[in-house]
Structure 1
Amino acid sequence: MEIELQKIKLPKCGKFVNHEFYIYDPNSDFIEDKNLFYLKEDLMQIEFDNLNLIIDLGWYGEVSNNKGKFKIFVIENQNWENPLKIESSYSQKEIVEKLNIVLDEINKACL
């Protein structure tokens, strides 16, 4: 069975720069080869030019021994040293829930 890209409800003022975030949870489906293919620091990036925001999602840690977690960074004005917000989780499902909350908040600012 092929693993699909995670569906994301993109706010209307956002655009994907990168989207390689698959429906793969290393906690429940760990296979080293899958980790090597599906987990990396650059899983997804969304830009919101009119808000000067970037949402960056990645997996940080050791891929081969499954010691890591997903992280979401909310970046304003390209200030990567001081993110507005950082969310993290070991669970793919939970990080999607956190991502949806962040995107809902941003969508309100898009109006």
Structure 2
Amino acid sequence: MKEFRLQPLRLCAGWKVAYNNFSEYDPACDGEEYSYELCEDLLQLENDNLLIDLGWYRYGDINGSYKIYLVDTKREAPYERPLEVFSSRSKAEILDKLEYWTQPGFYAKYKVKYPK
């Protein structure tokens, strides 16, 4: 049985990893045998009011796709009104999007300071 390490990530400072189950498994290269690596709770990153949530939809289905959300946790029903959503079957595209979304030049437009 093959074991997969966690996927290396290049993230800008300020993001906290809430959980990480995002492995180096790539459905395009590694095949269906290890599709148990594909779950809805792959990665969650937090930065103040912002949250990036990555999952694979449909769980374990090699024909599914990655879906990444950027939400404002202070908004009502944040997943019903996400700030950004991106979906792809390509792991490379998802990694590019994660890197882009965590750059201050991108997310600054969504960052809101709420009183504590």
Counterpart of 1:55, as a letter, is I
The question of whether the paired residues in 1 share the 8 Å contact of 2:101 and 2:107 is answered with no
Structure 1 stretches of at least 4 aligned residues deviating more than 3 Å after TM superposition: 105-110
The AA in structure 1 aligned to 2:10 is K
Q: Extract unaligned runs of 5+ from structure 1.
A: none
Higher percent of residues as helix: 1
Identity level (%): 38
Supply the distance in 1 between the matched residues of 2:47 and 2:106 (Cα, whole angstroms): 10
Whether 1:74 and 2:70 are equivalent positions in the alignment is yes
TM-score (norm 2): 0.78
Aligned residues of 2:11 and 2:99 also touching (Cα < 8 A): no
Q: Which has the larger radius of gyration?
A: 2
- For the Cα contact (< 8 Å) 1:41–1:59, is it kept in 2? yes
Q: Provide the secondary structure at the position in 1 that maps to 2:29.
A: helix
CA contact (8 A) 2:88 2:94 kept: yes
1:52-91 alignment, distance < 5 Å: 52-61=49-58, 63-64=60-61, 66-76=62-72, 77-78=74-75, 79-91=78-90
RMSD: 2.1
1:31 deviation in Å? 2.4
How far does residue 9 in structure 1 lie from its aligned partner after superposition?
2.4
More strand by share: 1
What stretches of structure 2 of length at least 5 have no aligned partner?
Answer: 112-116
Q: Which residue in 2 is equivalent to 1:11?
A: 12
Over 3 Å counting, the alpha-carbon distance change for 1:3 and 1:41 in structure 2 is: same
Structure 1: how far apart are the matches of 2:105 and 2:18?
17
Q: How many residues align?
A: 105
1:42 lines up with 2:41 in the alignment: yes
